């Protein structure tokens, strides 16, 4: 019997190494709206928190930023990201093989990401991952996003009615993933190889830790009864 029949998998930093493309696009978007970008080390640290892009921008501009300016930044970022993603993003080792193993064991897989919804779906299709997932839930205007528990109660419930949080396992790399699961009383597996800040993520005491995605099938085997 499967301890966690449904696995919620993050995308950025869990399935794919998107950090080079994201950091490049963050920097280029600042330049596109005539702002000087912060140091890359600072952007990388903030990236590990899984912030929403618009809020991320408004929070790091010293004198503050209007909603209109933040929206221009978001638009510039998304325009830049398309090319950067094509040139620099790659899947972590073993993604197709691991997902195939999990699917073959009967796990139901759902992608749950704070990446812009259309971009998430394009990315899964680009890497031929979409057939592994029953649904792909990304960031959408006006809808909750991790770590808000409403991602589960409102959005996931639409696809998977009747399931309880303890039947899910969240697999992700940042505090947004860990806090999302813990807000719901859901177990969480932290992907230590991803974008999260290690000491911060460890301090939240996730239930499990992965140092490679290859470890996930064995970890789940240990939980099965």
- Write down the pLDDT at residue 145: 94
d(CA 149, CA 179): 9
6-17+92-223 maps to which CATH number?
3.40.50.1000
- Give per-10-residue mean pLDDT for the chain (225 aa): 97 96 94 91 79 76 75 92 95 98 98 94 97 96 94 93 96 96 98 95 98 98 89
- Write down the pLDDT at residue 64: 63
- Write down the pLDDT at residue 63: 60
Q: What is the pTM of this model?
A: 0.91
- Write down the pLDDT at residue 60: 77
Query: What are the structural domain ranges in the chain?
Result: 6-17+92-223, 19-88
d(CA 110, CA 156): 9
d(CA 75, CA 72): 5
- Write down the pLDDT at residue 68: 86
Instruction: Locate 81 and state its tokens.
Output: 């990201």
Q: Are 130 and 124 in contact (CB under 8 A)?
A: yes
Cα angle value 98/13/118 (rounded, 5°): 95
């Amino acid at each position: 019997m499967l301890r966690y029949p449904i696995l919620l998998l993050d995308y950025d930093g869990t399935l794919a190494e998107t950090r080079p493309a994201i950091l490049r696009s963050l920097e280029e978007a600042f330049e596109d709206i005539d702002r000087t970008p912060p140091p890359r080390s600072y952007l990388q640290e903030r990236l590990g928190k899984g912030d929403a892009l618009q809020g991320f921008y408004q929070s790091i501009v010293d004198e503050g930023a209007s909603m209109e300016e933040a929206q221009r930044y978001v638009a510039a970022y998304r325009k830049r990201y398309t090319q950067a993603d094509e040139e620099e993003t790659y899947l972590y080792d073993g993604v197709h093989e691991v997902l195939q193993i999990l699917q073959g064991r009967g796990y139901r897989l759902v992608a749950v990401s704070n990446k812009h919804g259309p971009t998430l779906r394009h990315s899964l299709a680009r890497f031929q991952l979409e057939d592994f997932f029953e649904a792909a839930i990304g960031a959408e205007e006006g809808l909750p996003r991790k770590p808000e528990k409403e991602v589960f109660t409102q959005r996931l419930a639409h696809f998977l009615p009747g399931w309880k949080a303890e039947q899910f396992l969240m697999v992700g790399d940042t505090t947004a993933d860990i806090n999302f699961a813990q807000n719901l009383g859901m177990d969480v597996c932290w992907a230590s190889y991803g974008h999260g800040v290690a000491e911060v993520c460890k301090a939240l005491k996730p239930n499990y830790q992965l140092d490679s995605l290859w470890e996930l099938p064995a970890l789940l085997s240990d939980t099965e009864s």
